[in-house]
Copies of this chain bind each other. A is one copy, B any other.
Amino acid sequence: MNELRAVAERAREAARTLAALPAETKNRALRSMADALEAHKGAILAANREDVEEARARGQTPSLLDRLMLNEARVAAMARGLRDVAELPDPVGEVVEAYERPNGLRVQRVRVPLGVIGMIYEARPNATADAAGLCLKSGNAAILRGGSEALRSNRAIVDALRRALDGAGVPQDAIQLVENPDRALVDEMLQLVGLIDLIIPRGGEGLIQRVRQNAKVPVLAHAKGVCHVYVDADADVEKATKICVNAKVQRPGVCNAMETLLVHERIAPLFLPKAAEALREKGVELRGCPKARALVPDVQPATEADWEAEYLDLVLAIRVVSSPEEALEHIARYGSRHTDAIVTENPQTAQEFLRRVDSSAVMWNASTRFNDGGELGLGAEIGISTTKLHAYGPMGLRELTVPKFLVSGDGHVRE
């Protein structure tokens, strides 16, 4: 506990300096960090090879090995990411509102950093550079706790980043890595109220639930993404097919991929066989309700578990509904407040769906895959939140700040 508390206290101290840094200093530091990653590429790749060898020896899955592995291109992408963040506008100091009260008091709401942000994440070492960059740009100190499989890689990356800070007039403790692989340390991190202002966990549902269950520090995250596409009676069949294929297969392992397809019964006979063919062509396994199975051959029956499932794989649950209302009911019951879409040419139906679906992003005639900080114009994202507090949806630089009130008077007192 003392080890982690010391880390957090150094972070808090660094955060005070960071909060007051001008944008130019932070941008210079970000560019130095990018340069440092390239300069220390050899050490980073060597450390990563050791991580990958150990993971392979331990029999880790190919998908974990893929996420863990770095190469020249991935290091270059990390560096480019940092340079991109340097180009984004600084959210700190942004005036959100400014007005004068009837008594002459002038009120401003101005963005300030949150303070100290704890990141808890799994195997991907490139998350280390991404998170460090976004925290630094938004004036926050970062405490990084990556997966133990990536410890050597993360250490090499953070080493390079901290060296760059030193030369750029930024306290090194703006970026700290928790190296101790003891899992209990994560639980201790979650207790540091007053020292850590926000925890952002990224990873599988198990990690997120564990963090949520144990945290006393505020947490923003999404536990899972059970995303729906509802193809309405008034849908354009071609658009609907294109959107469904994209939402399911463009990258099936991510949180904003479609997991359940809801189809209005009036369009189902026309749409479903066509969509099923296109999806199967891409290798998607279909599971359906009785009505869907009656329209498409060889569809396995969907059970209750299918409606709740986040497959993260080439599997799709299909349900035929008799009204938009029934689609809304299904989403309210089984959805995860992440991303849901409607395909329709009827603006009334679309507006009603957009208004009533309680998800962080609701799409009309667009793929669920667009719920992403980059795609929605936030510049970069540190995660997606389905907690309805502070940030709902992708979190960019602004979401790592909060407005404080600045009030100016001329000797004003309250009567």
Residues of A within 8 A of B (CB): 16, 19-20, 93, 99, 101, 105, 107, 112, 114-115, 193, 197-198, 212-213, 215-216, 218, 220, 236, 238-239, 242-243, 245-247, 250, 332, 350, 354-356, 358-367, 369-371, 375-377, 387-394, 402-414
Contacts and interface: CB of A to CB of B under 8 A. Distances in A.
- Pick the 10 closest A-B CB pairs, nearest first: A366-B409, A246-B413, A239-B411, A390-B390, A361-B405, A369-B414, A366-B412, A364-B408, A392-B402, A367-B413
28 contacts: A16-B358, A19-B356, A19-B358, A20-B356, A93-B355, A101-B377, A112-B358, A112-B388, A114-B388, A198-B388, A218-B387, A238-B411, A239-B411, A242-B411, A243-B412, A243-B413, A250-B414, A361-B404, A361-B405, A363-B407, A364-B407, A366-B413, A367-B409, A369-B413, A370-B407, A375-B414, A376-B405, A389-B390
Nearest to A365: B409
Contact of A405 (B247, B360, B365, B414): B360
User: In the complex this chain forms, how many copies of it are found?
Assistant: 2
Nearest to A350: B408
Nearest to A238: B411
Contacts of A392: 112, 402-405
B413 A107 contact: no
**Residue with the highest number of chain B CB atoms closer than 10 Å, among A93, A362, A371:** A362
A112 B332 CA distance: 15
A389 B388 contact: no
A406 B246 contact: no
Given A212-B193, A390-B402, A414 B370 contact: yes
A354 B413 CA distance: 18
